[in-house]
Structure 1
């Protein structure tokens, strides 16, 4: 005679794996708090972006995304905000 465990035969919850990527970009033209706000808002509005950290004195923008970053979309958002993405830092 075999014994069944209480959960035998019940479906289990699906496991979801979340992938996050953090990428730092070099950005030129930033010089003040307004620059920080403009870049943060522009990049933060992109799909899949979960956080944006702008280092104005260092000329760097660190972007965390829920998957692989879309460098083209990030560069366009930074350009639309009035600054230039010069590459990955």
Structure 2
């Protein structure tokens, strides 16, 4: 089990959190997602070897930008 943490910029509300959660949920290996617009933090729990590039692309698809924390 791996835990990956990212810093997301541009989120301002619960709808933003939902958009990020929906896109990241489609990344293979992701099992749990915690996202907070207030802190700008995205924490993903899942299989070892979750592809960071796919997570970052999913956040971009949701309309935000992210970097690995």
**TM-score range normalised by the length of the shorter chain:** over 0.9
Counterpart of 2:16 (choices 11, 18, 35) is 35
Which protein has the bigger strand share? 2
Give a deviation string over 1:19-55, Cα, whole Å, max 9, x none: x101110000000010010000100111110011001
Q: What is the Cα deviation at residue 69 of structure 1?
A: 2.1
Q: Distance in 2 between matches of 1:54 and 1:29?
A: 13
Please list every run of at least 4 consecutive aligned residues from structure 1 whose deviation after the TM superposition is greater than 2 angstroms.
Answer: none
TM score, norm. by length of structure 1: 0.74
Aligned length: 69
Q: How far has the Cα of 1:63 moved from its partner?
A: 0.6
- Any stretches of 5+ residues in structure 1 without a counterpart? 1-19
Task: Tell me: higher relative CO, structure 1 or 2? Use CA pairs within 8 A at least 6 residues apart.
Answer: 2
Contact 2:28 2:50 in 1 (8 A): no
Runs of at least 5 residues in structure 2 that lack an aligned partner in the other structure = none
Aligned residue for 2:55, secondary structure, equals helix
Query: Residue 88 of structure 1: CA displacement?
Result: 2.1
